[in-house]
Amino acid sequence: MSTAGHPTPDPADRPADRRADRPADQDAAGLVIALDGTSGSGKSSTSRGVAARLGLAYLDTGAQFRAVTWWLLQQGVDVHDTTRVAALADTPRLVSGTDPGAPTITVDGEDVSGPIRSEAVNAAVSPVSAVPEVRARLLALQRAAISEALATGRGIVVEGRDIGSVVWPAAPVKVYLHADASARAARRATEEGGSDPSATEQSLLARDAIDSTRATAPLVRADGAVEIDTTPFTLDEVVGQVVGLAEAVEART
């Protein structure tokens, strides 16, 4: 199953309720798990594990921001030129696959799942993510993906930094993951094939600072989110905690 990948419509062409600061159908039946947190805290692995265990779809919103960043770099755009980035925000066609076992993302039909994890994209994604026009375009795609999952009755796990606070505030399960900076750096260094943990830690802390202080949709713990420090736990233990939260919510409905 894949999400809608069309450019964001002009706001003037949308119904009034879709211009509001909430998804129009956020009260639709179905399970939405909003999983936010800091870089390297285990969001992706946890989200995919939870989605697989519960039979839900999965959406990596960070991959969408990386995909836009990758495209801008391919075009030779200075990612610090906010005017230029804003003007091009609607140009690339993005499609996100929502299979937790094999998530994909394409830009104009090209699979960029690998290239978006490059060092060049790592270094450029924060300034791109802070541009309001980029966030607005991707917000529309993210809400469309959630609506699609709910319409099929499947439900979805969505990971990012503003899912519970901005993208889908009515999610019945909200989780905020974080971990000790050194632990996050060690995990990320391992994922990247043995990069310098010290340099990785500084990069993560810099990303935290940018994400937490940007003017549009900063990284915050959403109201009602359960906070989990993943530092002392294995991946299976963290997945189990989130699954337990979801099962408790479903038992009450």
Q: What residues are designated binding site for ATP?
A: 37-45
Overall residue count recorded for the chain in this entry: 253
End-to-end CA distance of the chain: 26
Token pair for 7: 């450019």
User: β-strand 173-178 against 226-229: which pairing, if any?
Assistant: parallel
Secondary structure (3-state) at 42 = coil
Q: Are 45 and 191 in contact (CB under 8 A)?
A: no
Binding annotation = 37-45
Angle at 135 between CA 222 and CA 205, to 5 degrees: 60
Secondary structure (3-state) at 10 = coil
Among the listed residues 97, 122, 120, the one whose alpha carbon sits nearest the alpha carbon of residue 202 = 122
Type of residue at 228: I
Distance CA 10, CA 3 (A): 19
Count of other CB atoms within 10 angstroms of residue 86: 15
